[in-house]
Structure 1
């Protein structure tokens, strides 16, 4: 099941081929056709129009969603004449980020191939195998950061180029959306907590971040347009540790990897972060990025500076995609 957020009211829908089914209105119409009283009220309770409320409904909400999909799957938008509309052409609606407006945790340094390039730049380590990098990273322990956006960009939204930046980078990622409340969660119970999987873009500032500190504001990862997600959340179909991901800049492949290559699995990350910390439905964990970013591919010159050719510029179009999820494209524009 592919869940999207669409339209001016940012309603939860199901993406089925080239159609979007409004789940809440679909259930209301389905119940009304069966002659049930208070169909709209029942639908509002059982299959809410807001994404977060749908996630919080758990398995019962997904069962109702599947019933709506099964009922309307053969109905074309042209034949859906009764108001309000339930079945829409995908091209006729605006897809928004499927962000439940909860917290976003991001894993850092979670792919050895990416670390190889970063270590070559920062530490001068060039003759290190992927196995050695993985071992060293495991010994050093997990690290990451939180993204704290007020808004998250969705498919085809623009990303403003931060004014204070010279080196602006792309990081295509896979993220999980949490479906159950929990704390101190063992890694082996990860499947109980994953509601779905989506594409995630961790836009990053690669200019110097100032003095290194144990705790910081982390401004390189937090600015307007620092996150995009979409086009959908795939629910109940995927193994989060076996998802392919590609990143293209102006149509050229820059990244290509699989989540099976993660140093720390999503389960291990959830176990680490949930120590004395409660995760709630709608929280997001992004699993990190692999090799191919501008930062890990651009070697510093004798003057210590990196060439700009691989870093992003105004007008660039960046697309993160997966054969199992879809594509998330964004264009870089000048900041206001």
Structure 2
């Protein structure tokens, strides 16, 4: 006999496939031979133990291996850090896999489909299954595996603590840049020194000290690599020109400009983003990260956003050839506004007051 199916066709309705059941369970060697299980336990624990030593070795290599040392053409420190941390993670992973395949019980289970929302009975069943899984993992019976795994995973926290050092030097005491009296201001793209005639009213030029662009016949900068990049980033400036009548400088900054040309640090005093979004009509410099806004016609004062300190200003002058030069380093600290900076700035202001007196 046939029945109409759901589409209305006169076809026989297929019966559900009968439950084939589970295949016969095959016991492993470690299930029937406790001596073999003990050997496997020791092997897994050895992996976890070596992983612990490698995690400690990462910390030792981080402190003792010099960054500039090379090994087979690679950085020796990078090689040591990668080998130790990678080896620790690899051994922990292999050990856990071996634990699951050879020690934990492997009886097959069937789980029937159920509604999305579980009943209270199902939830209790899940807790029972979790407890059964903990029991089947034999973590209580195998303290050697358990303790060595906890030691290896705990040791992995050590590299994370040591890597915090790579977040950079603390801002405390980082008040100086490479700017010095008589150092020319150059275009950061071409490296050409700037004259007042090169800058029009309303124009902004990204600049940096001439030390990074030595003239022909001069020696190159003494710093290289990441130290050079850090020095260039910290010494970056913006040079702008406004009508002198629009500028309202503080009394001590009255002679820091040249016919409306002013120079400010390019580093936002909020979290250190580079800024150069210039609104020439309003004389505002906008940070693209968090919208801190500085009025360059009013001593770099903060008029909007989360920044709390004005942009540091670089005093300018002219050399004998008529090029724009710095008259000193930045009197203010060039860095994000960490709490330490307020303390340093206050100390610096007090020293300047004593020198002036």
Give the TM-score, by structure 2 length. 0.26
Higher share in helix: 2
| Bigger Rg, structure 1 or 2 | 2
Higher share in strand: 1
Determine which structure has greater relative contact order: mean sequence separation of CA pairs < 8 Å that are 6+ residues apart, divided by chain length.
Answer: 1
